[in-house]
A and B are shown apart, each in its own frame.
Chain A
């Protein structure tokens, strides 16, 4: 047990999640290793976000176990300061607090969980903004004044505010143009290397799967049907995985496969 908690950041076993009559996640098991970037792919509406939200405790599960950094999720209450330092989440639309400026948004987790002087908090928050490639001037803008790409960067800075061990990213590059998406991929890679993060990324972006993810997991019919490096997934025989990675839009991946 001691060894396995050392090695894995997230362990999900035999998880079942559903709403009323519908079962979305059906006896799913998934391990995320420490320090890797795991990409999760799946059909739209196939339960990717549900899986992510269940791991972070926003959706109750029917059965199964979820272990994050060696702690059983059931044993920590929802509003516990511990969870805040354990993970940071980048929501699909950013979910920045609209009444606070970008800088205040990044400060928010610091203000709530630590006792710091105002000036130190400003410095730390500005540092995080600069790490994600924004200028200190951007910090004074309100979320409504930020572009899509900037919103995601601020949201990432907020997710990283407490230097969590795990970062969950929900479609980080959706709605960004290819250049901005590429920059964001580089940013995630760089931050992962400098901060030693474990990244759990839900994405449809084949390019970012190919360039930043160490491993890719494919979710279909409520189960993980394939997991491994991009090359391994391209060789998978599962019909859905084949359709996903060998469709017209995935042709750019083919040269690497052969």
Chain B
């Protein structure tokens, strides 16, 4: 080996592997004439890969699957308890603020109202406008076969005011503001800011979470109202240009088709949806662990979970309103 000028770990390992193979077949081989500076490397390589890594216990795949199901059931129960804990903490922070109204973070509340309310108006108006227009277009297109185009007003009016308006807005807010809350709180958690806050004798729920959720609960009904109006406007425009129904007739028919009850049903749901989005977003934010990956994961979970819960809540409200005859 005297002519070998350069030797790296890979080469040394190949040599070692050859000599080990030779040993197994009963012909011990040794490396001779290697340059002095590589003897250390050769010695080191001789020690590696001696110990077989402990083989992983192979579990029965059926049992493994069952275990996963069991674990996710327990996790679901934990999710419920986390939600309820946050609701409770929020309730107690609310009581604290009612006792001492000065302790409400007014500045933070206004800031977040601007963020989740005012700033969201253009995109929400645009999206709901388009949805209203699409519903009207589809309604006119299909109702035309039965000569019942004028019923499109009922379709748009009731659907938008009762369901679609608030639901679309809630889903958009969950994606837009819920994710922001989770990411903000999560990064504060990662940077130990939340720990710093509680060691200063302050309640993070009162300082950080309460203003955010109050802002959301105030903003969502307003956004839902704006969204519903934009959708009706879009529907009206399509009825005019595509269906040939003049705005005066559209408004007159809308007046007959919808009642204040439909509007109420839609608006009552808004603050509850806001509360659900806010609680899910905040509690997922506080569950962020140290890593960036965990921040991304919790933000995704927060959005998915809050959209799911908003739809479930909407279903529950539909059942409730149907049973009380609204």
Contact = CB atoms under 8 A, between A and B. Distances in A.
B100 to A, nearest CB: 12
A141 interface: no
A39 to B, nearest CB: 20
Interface in A35-85: 53, 56-58, 78-84
- Size class of A's contact patch? 20 to 34
Contact of B192 (A79, A81, A92, A112): A92
A97 B193 contact: yes
Contact of A79 (B191, B193, B195, B201): B201
B66 interface: no
Indicate the member of A79, A87, A95, A113 with the most B CB atoms within 10 Å.
A79
Contacts of B200: 83-84, 108-109, 112-113
Contacts of A201: none
Contacts of A112: 200-202
Indicate the member of B188, B195, B202, B206 with the most A CB atoms within 10 Å.
B202
A27 B277 CA distance: 43
Interface string B179-217: 000000001100111011111111100100000000000
Given A93-B191, A95-B191, A58 B201 contact: no
A199 to B, nearest CB: 16
A117 interface: no
Contacts of A92: 192
Contacts of B191: 93, 95, 98
A82 B192 CA distance: 21
Contacts of A160: none
Interface string B132-151: 00000000000000000000
Contacts of B192: 91-93, 95
A112 B200 CA distance: 9
A80 B201 contact: yes
A16 interface: no
Interface residues of B, number: 15
A89 interface: yes
Nearest to B199: A89
A112 B197 CA distance: 10
A89 B199 CA distance: 7
A96 B195 CA distance: 11
A44 to B, nearest CB: 15
A80 B96 CA distance: 13
A56 B199 contact: yes
A225 B32 CA distance: 50
A82 B193 CA distance: 20
A89 B196 contact: yes
A83 B193 contact: no
A91 B196 contact: yes
Contact of B201 (A91, A95, A96, A113): A113
A58 B199 contact: yes
Interface string A80-121: 111110010101110111100000000011001100000000
Contact of A91 (B187, B195, B203): B195
Nearest to A82: B201
A165 to B, nearest CB: 14
A92 B191 CA distance: 9
A87 B193 contact: no
Contacts of B198: 57-58, 78-79
Contacts of A97: 193, 196-197
A87 B191 CA distance: 20
Interface in A189-232: none
B201 A83 contact: yes
Contacts of B206: 79
Nearest to B108: A99
Interface string A162-198: 0000000000000000000000000000000000000
A95 B196 contact: yes
A53 B199 CA distance: 10
Contacts of B199: 56-58, 83-84, 87, 89
Task: Kindly list the 6 A-B residue pairs having the minimum CB-CB distance in the complex, ordered from nearest.
Answer: A84-B201, A95-B192, A79-B203, A95-B196, A91-B192, A83-B201
Interface of A: 53, 56-58, 78-84, 87, 89, 91-93, 95-98, 108-109, 112-113
Given A79-B202, A108-B200, 18 more contacts: A56-B199, A58-B199, A79-B206, A82-B201, A83-B199, A83-B200, A83-B201, A84-B201, A91-B192, A91-B195, A95-B191, A95-B195, A97-B196, A98-B188, A112-B200, A112-B201, A112-B202, A113-B200
Interface of B: 187-188, 191-193, 195-203, 206
23 contacts: A56-B199, A58-B195, A58-B198, A79-B203, A80-B201, A81-B201, A84-B199, A84-B200, A87-B199, A89-B196, A91-B196, A93-B191, A93-B192, A95-B193, A96-B193, A97-B193, A97-B196, A98-B187, A98-B188, A109-B200, A112-B200, A112-B201, A112-B202
